[in-house]
Structure 1
Amino acid sequence: MQTRSHSMTLAQAQQEASTVFLAKVFNWMAIGLALTGGLAYFTAASGLALTIASSPLFIILILAELGLVFFLSARVDKIQPGTATALFLGYSALNGLTLSTIFLAYTRASIGGTFLITAGMFGAMAAYGMVTKRDLSGMGSFLFMGLIGIILASVVNIFLHSSSLYWAISVIGVLVFVGLTAYDVQKIKTMGEQGIMEQGEAAIQRGAIIGALALYLDFINLFLMLLRFFGGARD
């Protein structure tokens, strides 16, 4: 009886730690999305989006974003938590500048509607990742292969300009990022259960930032894929 009681207490402690850690991750993800969305809107409203889209600045911003993501993902365990946080916020800001250009192609109403659809799909898959008893770790390599395929096909289609390939990429992209959302949330939940909350504030903050970055990327990419279906073109 004592063994069972101890087991239940341990399970409850793991569940509580996981909940606290997930909340921290989602808070940082929300901050990143708010920064991106706000900056994208005000950049478009100011007219700077047109300058970005029609100059080499767009490519420079994209390259800077890629550099930040790769650096943060590779060095997150070795840099200070404050530096990791600043890099994440910096990436969110840069992404806001580049995403401001979508206001040149789509109506604000369709962008807002697509955001709500994305939030609903993301929320549903995040909830599934949190509550499912199924181990989703086996999906990781499959989804990663799908992501690489999307990137390669998108590069090829820059030269082919194939509408069929464009829509195939869009459909597969939605499936991949929906799957990645559930996979990443379960992985983050497992991090909380396996003791990251006992490793000190520095480890918690770094873990929260890398988790927030993963979910942020899932959300943004899912939004961009759905925008291809639901975005209304500007006149």
Structure 2
Amino acid sequence: MQTQTNNTMTMARARQEASTVFLAKVFNWMAIGLAVTGVLAYFTAQTGLALTIAASPLFIVLILAELGMVFYLSARIEKIQSGTATALFIGYSVLNGLTLSTIFLAYTRASIGSTFLITAGMFGAMAVYGMVTKRDLSGMGSFMFMGLIGIILASVVNIFLQSSSLYWAISVIGVLVFVGLTAYDVQKIKTMGEQGIMEQGESAIQKGAIIGALALYLDFINLFLMLLRFFGGSRD
């Protein structure tokens, strides 16, 4: 009986250690993606290319390319090579850096920097919650995904309505949705580590880390953009 208990405890510790290693790999790739996006956005704005992007159809082309890459990577992650998945993630980070350079045209650099720090704090708090909570967040994840669909639909409608009230409602709900998705995604990634992805070979580990990093990257960027609506200081 004692031997069985010891074996169970040993297996539990091994799963926890594997999950920690996998989470670290995911967060490392997320950080790389954010660094690529942030540096490129800043220097694109500094060169004046951001104004060209914002004032031309290139902005829409970049947005469509980003959406295509996200859908392709999410749908084909099991079939593509790990190197291809990594290249697509970095490529997406580059394209997003180009599109996000346009925020420097609307907001001051100081307010962008302070909003980034606020985002990092909120994201970090929810990531820790997702890692340590014993509560199953899968139900909340489904609810937050429904909220995300609602935000997208409401945003499309507001393109035509131009309602300030709807704009702020979308912003508030958006913050709540991406805060919730952060905790849910971190817990899901932690579970992947506990369920043996670290035993499936380097290719599976890399692809799992990339798709996890993409989810957290999107949570962070979208939370940042929603908060920027509240804390961003206009350049006007």
TM-score, normalised to structure 1, is: 1.00
Quote the offset at 1:25 in angstroms: 0.2
| Counterpart residue number, 2:84 | 83
In 2, the alpha carbon distance for the partners of 1:142 and 1:132 equals 18
In 2, the alpha carbon distance for the partners of 1:52 and 1:123 equals 32
| Counterpart residue number, 2:235 | 234
In 2, the alpha carbon distance for the partners of 1:153 and 1:218 equals 19
Quote the offset at 1:43 in angstroms: 0.1
In 2, the alpha carbon distance for the partners of 1:212 and 1:92 equals 11
| Counterpart residue number, 2:205 | 204
In 1, the alpha carbon distance for the partners of 2:35 and 2:78 equals 26
Deviation track 1:56-102 (CA, whole Å, cap 9, x = no partner) reads 00000000000000000000110000000000000000000000000
Quote the offset at 1:119 in angstroms: 0.1
Tell me the SS of whatever aligns to 2:93: helix
Give the total of aligned pairs.
Answer: 235
| Counterpart residue number, 1:180 | 181
Tell me the SS of whatever aligns to 1:232: coil
Quote the offset at 1:223 in angstroms: 0.1
Quote the offset at 1:138 in angstroms: 1.0
Which contiguous aligned blocks of 4+ residues in structure 1 show a shift greater than 3 angstroms? none
In 2, the alpha carbon distance for the partners of 1:176 and 1:165 equals 16
Deviation track 1:5-36 (CA, whole Å, cap 9, x = no partner) reads 11110000000000000000000000000000
| Counterpart residue number, 1:157 | 158
In 1, the alpha carbon distance for the partners of 2:140 and 2:163 equals 29
| Counterpart residue number, 1:134 | 135
| Counterpart residue number, 1:8 | 9
Tell me the SS of whatever aligns to 1:138: helix
Percent identity for Structure 1 against Structure 2: 87
TM-score, normalised to structure 2, is: 0.99
Structure 2 residues without counterparts, runs of 5 or longer: none
Please show how residues 51-130 of structure 1 align to structure 2 within 5 Å: 51-130=52-131
In 2, the alpha carbon distance for the partners of 1:193 and 1:25 equals 14
